[in-house]
Amino acid sequence: MLRLCLSALLSHWRRHPLQGISILTGLWLATALWTGVQALNDQARADYARANALLAGAAQTQLVARQGERFAQSAYVQLRRAGWPVSPVLEGRLRFAGREPVSVRLLGIEPLSLPADSSVAGQSTQGFDLLHFLTPPGQAWVAPDTLQRLGLKPGDQPTSADGQRLPPLAVQAQLAPGVMIVDIGQAQRLLQAPEQLSRLLLPNDFARTLPALPDNLRTQLQLQPAADNDDLQHLTESFHLNLSALGLLAFLVGLFIVHAAIGLALEQRRGLLRTLRACGVSLRALIGALALELGLFALIAGLAGVLSGYLLASLLLGDVAASLRGLYGAQVAGHLSLSPQWWLAGLGISLLGAALAGLNSLLRSAQLPLLALAQAQAWRQAQALWLRRQSALAIVLLLIAAACWRWGDSLPSAFALLASLLPAAALVLPALLDAALALLSRLCSTPLSQWFIADSRQQLPALALALMALLLALAASVGVGSMTEGFRQTFLGWLDQRLSAELYITPRDTRQGLAMRRWLDEQPGVEAVLPQWRLELRLQGLPVQLQGMLDHDSYRQHWPLLEQQPDAWASLASGKGLMLSEQLARRLKLHLGERLALPTTPPSPALPVVALYADYGNPRGQLLLNDELLRRLWPGATLSSLNVRLPAEHVPALKAQLQSRYRLDSTRLVDQGTLKRWSVEVFERTFAATAALNSLTLSVAGVALFISLLTLGQSRLGQLAPLWALGVTRRQLAWLSLGQTLMLAGLTVLLAMPLGILLAWCLVAVVNVQAFGWRLPLHVFPMQLAHLALLGLFTSLLAAAWPLWQLARRQPADLLRQFADER
Amino acid sequence: MNAKPVLILLALLLASCDPPAPPSTGFAGLGQQAGEFAQVERGHGLQFPADHGAHDGFRIEWWYVTANLTDSDGRSWGAQWTLFRSALRPGGEQQGWESPNVWMGHAALSGPFGHQYSETLARGGIGQAGVAVSPFHAWIDDWTLRSLGGDGLQQLEMHATGKDFNYRLQLRSDRPLVLHGDQGYSEKSGQGQASYYYSQPFYQVSGEIERAGQRFSVTGQAWLDREWSSQPLAAGQSGWDWFSLHLDSGAKLMLFQVRQENAAPYRAGTWIAADGQATPLKPEQITLTPLAWTRLANGRRVPTHWRVALSQPTLTVEIQALLPQAWMGTRFPYWEGPVRISGDSNGRGYLEMTGYAP
């Protein structure tokens, strides 16, 4: 019975292949975009996990320096000889010169002392090739991806920017991207840190019953508990949530198509359903057959969608990886390696999508009375009820959005705001369009123009979903576009101010930095040398950069402050105040004028926050204090860079002198122009993936519109035939239909603009603040709006063109037939 | 005892490189060609105290102590303390991480609570492990074997810590050192493979051991072995059985056999009279016969009950392991544990067996 029923139902698709294609396309696009975004997220998260699990497990207790970043190797030997089973690690960034300088995270390990149950890059410490790793020339382990990024092959021995030759490169597939592992002796040579260590790993069972540190080490080292290591996961969470939100939007837009197509197919098969029921097919069997049919579509489209999603993710991964590097310093591989679960989840989401999109139609056909099934009026009544429910739902969603805006203070609540605002807007769209058309109809006096409006209203229910999709996609484009462009302008303006020095020098170490500073002070033409002292530590569990600032007019003029107390720079200079980056202040929940105690030993008095400043693109919170104060509290602070002010024409000469005198390569000696160019490049790449996803969503909406018009075109002959009979030519009819489509699309585009701006406001004032910690001013760019509006109309035009072309070419016989077998 | 070892890394290392090392290079690669390492030569003679220290030109070397102990309740215990040095390449010691030396410590305690062992590894050149000659001090991490006075090895303290056990023992002997083979030149095959090898088998021991939170005062006897070489085994030699025996008469006996593929084992030993007088034993004077085998928890079978027969002096004894499961599951695994002697003479000692495949 089911089989018979199914084959009767499936025959529909033979006669209306277009509808079948619509459903498949909708599900395919929805699945592809959603799984593609999930693939990007999964890959990135897997890479963070790999980076975290580089040594042993993520949960590894460590001893780290109390002061500065490194400590003497003698502490390791002393602890070993006191019976502590510690293992030394030296970590640092190894730079490679080149047109675009690259750096890797260099990790020096000592394989013999690694805890027995630990693993390095997925290999057990008992299993790896010690002889080659330990004996000269040694080995440098890298992931295939890193090798590719460096443009090198296995076995190569490249030279670092500091002129040190690396051991031969060896590929370790399990290694996290952007990481290089060498023996600790090699690391000390490459990083020019002889007898220096970054941390000591403790085996987990030993860490549980820890003896007290020897007295002389207690002031040097401190215990860092295992749980503090997942910064990356935490920092990037908001980025992935953003990506997911875009993916979800695309998924929903895709489902609109499916929903429209399924609804239409069901409407056209009312007669068939009635006949089947009258022949004795039970309601259960009928619904079962319909569900089975839907499942079949979901399976086919799901497979295609998952494959395309994979393809899409591979195409976008490069940009996403660049974004993550630029924004968070997170390293993500440039190629995908996905688990079987991902593929299954992709199929699952396709089934879920089909169920969501089709459930409504299934329920409606199940609930319609048997005899009413074939009456168009019954369907319309149901439709009217549905519209009322739709409006009620929209109101509920708007209330939720308002509540989220009023009381929410987390990233999920910010997204809940968007997630309720956008569908609410989409749901009220048909009502708004209808009202607008009603208004227009009063202006029309000629019969044809009155028909024009009335017929448009008639089309509205069938086109509503496609127009909703267009509204959402356009609004998202406007919102994301305004946000990105606004961020871009703010960022560039900030960069111009902030990068005020002509030359930026990164000394190899503090000693070299001090020598350079003395030498630079004596050079003619140098107006100022501004040293930046730096220290990394944790404040309330968050990684924070402390930066020591010399008191200098250059900062007063060029360091942009967002909020400040009177004489902020003077209090900073006298050591009586601190300045916080915007994101740090938000994370610590500190406001201007509140006090913050720095974690010094012995404790020092809390200092007031005298100013907040923008620090875009820095994943870590930053805190400014007077340089002398910083060095007094933490003698281990490092001189991280020297910013040199001098007339621009002297820059090349001074650069050349520095290069030859201190053997500095191009990555340690950067002029203002180059630094700006790098920063802008990072910025551009950061938003490339967002822009790509955004335009994809818009094209999905275009497809939705196209398919709706296509299906509509076939059922509209009944309405058009009388006009033709009254003397309107086919060509005229086509133009009129085009006008109708463009009018509806135009109204939708008009409504999308304010909605997009509202969305942009949500993004900059709510989502960004929660996600990144900075609040940007809201910019509206009229040219950008006009551009997107035209794009929206053009999309609609394209979507309408083909069905109209067909209409214009219809044989008169087709139109005549409408009168013969009127439904 | 000896050759234990070795482990090392050496071999391991060699064994884990790209082409698997052919099986004929012997246990832990001890049969590898020595390359540019220093060579063991007959008639070279040993010099003390210098030879108590490390010999950086040689590939492998060890400081090995085994002690047979009795607690105040009369129960038998065994303690092992071993430090291995292995050079990953020729060239002698260098300061810093470039040092070619890798050090490995093994410690074990066997007794009424079973057999416990521990292992630790250290790189040379940074001070984490090493040997000082005067006063004598061998260490790795917090494990030490050090002189309590004087230039030589007359009074030593031996200390090691493992999971759930530790010991601190004082070793004393006023007897001279025993040189094995030809004035310390000890052959390991008929083809010239050899090592420098001397012992101090006459230590009287007292001290404390701790096991599972309980402390025991112990007394007993200990035997120290010192051996270094660059290629102690010939190709085709797969493992050995080593005996260090304290007879109740006061005499001591060192015996070993190196098992060879497709050939009879190579045997040698030293008879040490109670007054310290040492007599090398020729291969044909020694008969070693396994009487019973033990299947270990890890599936290997090892002979833990032996008959040892000598023709000159005439002696036939049976050797039985106190703890047949005394397996050292270290990176280079082997069997090592205390034994009981019965027969023509009673006594106790240590047995080491390597190269028994799983």
Segment B191-245, tens digit of pLDDT? 778 899 999 999 999 999 999 889 999 999 999 999 999 876 767 778 889 999 9
Interface of B with A in 325-344 (CB under 8 A): 331
Q: Which residue type, as a one-letter code, is found at position B77?
A: W
Residue B105 lies in a domain: yes
H or E element: which one contains A218?
helix A215-218
Q: State residue A668's pLDDT score.
A: 76
φ, ψ dihedrals at B357, nearest 5° = -70, 155
Lowest mean pLDDT among A151-155, A248-252, B65-69: A248-252
> Residue B58 and residue B84: Cα distance in Å, rounded?
12
What's the number of CA atoms in the CB half-sphere (13 Å) around residue A161? 24
Question: How many angstroms separate the CA of residue A657 from the nearest CA in chain B?
Answer: 35
pLDDT tens per residue across span B102-113? 999 999 999 998
Q: pLDDT higher for B232 or A798?
A: A798
Band of the pLDDT at B20, cuts 50, 70, 90?
A: very low
> Which residue range is the domain that position B213 belongs to?
8-353
The encoded tokens of residue A359 equal: 């459930």
- In contact, A419 and A249? CB cutoff 8 Å: no
The encoded tokens of residue A373 equal: 């099934």
What value, to the nearest 5°, has the Cα angle with vertex B259 and ends B253 and B261?
165
Q: State residue A17's pLDDT score.
A: 77
- Greatest mean pLDDT range, A123-127, A245-249, A452-456, A812-816: A452-456
Residues of A in contact with B97 (CB under 8 A): 183-186, 188
Backbone φ/ψ region at B227: left (φ over 0), alpha (ψ -120 to 50), beta: beta
Residue B175 has pLDDT above 80, yes or no: yes
Mean predicted lDDT score pLDDT of chain A? 80
Nearest to A246 by CA among A481, A401, A33, A483: A33
Q: Which residue matches tokens 């416990």?
A: B116
Residues of B in contact with A188 (CB under 8 A): 97
Q: State residue A117's pLDDT score.
A: 65
B21 touches chain A (CB under 8 A): no
Q: State residue B110's pLDDT score.
A: 95
Q: Is A114 helix (H, G, I), strand (E, B) or coil?
A: coil
Question: How many angstroms separate the CA of residue A194 from the nearest CA in chain B?
Answer: 9
Mean predicted lDDT score pLDDT of chain B? 87
pLDDT tens per residue across span A486-532? 877 888 888 888 888 888 888 877 888 899 999 998 888 888 899 98
Q: State residue A52's pLDDT score.
A: 62
Q: A123 vs A53, A120, A206, CA distance in Å? A: 11, 5, 22
Identify any residues that bridge with A536 across adjacent strands, giving them in sequence order. A545
Q: State residue A99's pLDDT score.
A: 65
- In contact, B278 and B271? CB cutoff 8 Å: yes
Residues of B in contact with A197 (CB under 8 A): none
For residue A167, what is the DSSP state? P
Residue A336 has pLDDT above 80, yes or no: no
Q: pLDDT higher for B2 or A37?
A: A37
Cα torsion for A669, A674, A675, A678, to the nearest 10°?
A: -130
Q: State residue A373's pLDDT score.
A: 45
H or E element: which one contains B211?
strand B194-211
The answer to whether B97 contacts A83, with C-beta atoms less than 8 Å apart, is no
Domain count, chain B: 1
The answer to whether A83 contacts B141, with C-beta atoms less than 8 Å apart, is yes
Residues of B in contact with A136 (CB under 8 A): 89, 98
Q: State residue A374's pLDDT score.
A: 45
Identify any residues that bridge with A181 across adjacent strands, giving them in sequence order. A107, A141
Residue A378 has pLDDT above 70, yes or no: no
φ, ψ dihedrals at A324, nearest 5° = -65, -40
A134 touches chain B (CB under 8 A): yes
Q: Looking at the partner chain, which of A76, A132, A194 has a beta carbon nearest the beta carbon of B17?
A: A132
A148 touches chain B (CB under 8 A): no
Q: Which residue matches tokens 């990135």?
A: A44
Mean pLDDT of A291-298: 86
Q: Is A331 helix (H, G, I), strand (E, B) or coil?
A: coil
Residue B54 has pLDDT above 90, yes or no: yes
Question: How many angstroms separate the CA of residue A232 from the nearest CA in chain B?
Answer: 32
A627 touches chain B (CB under 8 A): no
Helices (H), A507-552: 510-521
Residue B2 lies in a domain: no
Q: Which residue matches tokens 């621009």?
A: A648
Residue A750: how many other CB atoms lie within 10 Å: 12
Q: Which residue of B has its CA nearest to A131?
A: B13
- Greatest mean pLDDT range, A46-50, A80-84, A732-736: A80-84
pLDDT tens per residue across span B121-149? 999 999 999 999 989 999 999 999 999 98
Q: B318 vs B311, B342, B350, CA distance in Å? A: 15, 5, 13
Q: State residue B140's pLDDT score.
A: 96
Residue B24 lies in a domain: yes
Name residues whose C-beta falls within 8 Å of residue A194's C-beta, 6 or more positions apart in sequence. Answer: A188, B96
pLDDT tens per residue across span A672-697? 888 788 777 767 766 676 777 777 77
The encoded tokens of residue A790 equal: 């035209």
Q: State residue A260's pLDDT score.
A: 67
Q: Which residue matches tokens 């946000």?
A: A483
* Residues listed for chain A: 823
Q: State residue A315's pLDDT score.
A: 83
Band of the pLDDT at A372, cuts 50, 70, 90?
A: low
The answer to whether A83 contacts B142, with C-beta atoms less than 8 Å apart, is yes
> Residue A761 and residue A164: Cα distance in Å, rounded?
50
Band of the pLDDT at B5, cuts 50, 70, 90?
A: very low
Residue B195 lies in a domain: yes
> Residue B326 and residue B110: Cα distance in Å, rounded?
7
Q: State residue B167's pLDDT score.
A: 97
Residue A647 has pLDDT above 60, yes or no: yes
Identify any residues that bridge with B280 across adjacent strands, giving them in sequence order. B270
Residue B249 lies in a domain: yes
Q: State residue A74's pLDDT score.
A: 94
Residue A421 has pLDDT above 80, yes or no: yes
Q: Looking at the partner chain, which of B88, B120, B126 has a beta carbon nearest the beta carbon of A135?
A: B88
> Residue A434 and residue B134: Cα distance in Å, rounded?
102
The answer to whether A82 contacts B142, with C-beta atoms less than 8 Å apart, is yes
Q: Looking at the partner chain, which of A77, A128, A131 has a beta carbon nearest the beta carbon of B88?
A: A131
Mean pLDDT of B56-68: 94
The encoded tokens of residue A309 equal: 């999603």
Q: State residue B85's pLDDT score.
A: 94
Q: State residue A228's pLDDT score.
A: 47
Q: Looking at the partner chain, which of A81, A82, A113 has a beta carbon nearest the beta carbon of B121?
A: A113
CATH number at residue B169: 2.40.370.10
Residue B228 lies in a domain: yes
Residue A267: how many other CB atoms lie within 10 Å: 16
* Rg value, chain B, Cα: 19
Lowest mean pLDDT among A228-232, A380-384, B352-356: A228-232
Cis peptide before A340 (omega within 30 of 0): no
Lowest mean pLDDT among A407-421, A517-531, A736-750, B9-23: B9-23
The answer to whether B97 contacts A130, with C-beta atoms less than 8 Å apart, is no
pLDDT tens per residue across span A165-174? 999 998 887 7
- Greatest mean pLDDT range, A259-273, A396-410, A797-811: A396-410
Q: What percent of chain A is predicted at pLDDT more than 90?
A: 8
Question: How many angstroms separate the CA of residue B306 from the nearest CA in chain A?
Answer: 34
Residue A784 has pLDDT above 80, yes or no: yes
Contacts 24+ apart (CB under 8 A), B263-267: B263/B236, B266/B188, B266/B189, B266/B190, B266/B237
Nearest to B191 by CA among B31, B28, B355: B31
Q: Which residue type, as a one-letter code, is found at position A3?
A: R
Band of the pLDDT at A538, cuts 50, 70, 90?
A: confident
> Residue B203 and residue B276: Cα distance in Å, rounded?
12
Nearest to B100 by CA among B111, B110, B91: B91
B11 touches chain A (CB under 8 A): no
Q: Looking at the partner chain, which of B9, B96, B161 has a beta carbon nearest the beta carbon of A130?
A: B9
Residue B3 lies in a domain: no
Residue B31 has pLDDT above 60, yes or no: no
Backbone φ/ψ region at A762: left (φ over 0), alpha (ψ -120 to 50), beta: alpha
Residues of B in contact with A85 (CB under 8 A): 120, 141
Q: Which residue type, as a one-letter code, is found at position A567?
A: D
> Residue B244 and residue B80: Cα distance in Å, rounded?
13
Q: pLDDT higher for A479 or A718?
A: A479
Q: State residue A383's pLDDT score.
A: 60
The encoded tokens of residue A472 equal: 């959402």
- Pairs of CB atoms within 8 A across A/B: 63
Mean pLDDT of A624-639: 86
The answer to whether B13 contacts A185, with C-beta atoms less than 8 Å apart, is no
**Would you say the ipTM is above 0.85?**
yes
Residue A128 has pLDDT above 70, yes or no: no
The encoded tokens of residue A423 equal: 């569908």
pLDDT tens per residue across span A564-622? 998 899 999 998 999 999 888 988 888 998 999 888 777 788 899 999 998 876 767 88
Mean pLDDT of A23-48: 81
- In contact, A61 and A224? CB cutoff 8 Å: yes
Picking from B18, B106, B128, B168 by the largest number of A CB atoms within 10 A of its own CB, the best residue to mutate is B128
| Residue B161 CB-density burial (10 A; 0-12 exposed, 13-18 middle, 19+ buried) | middle
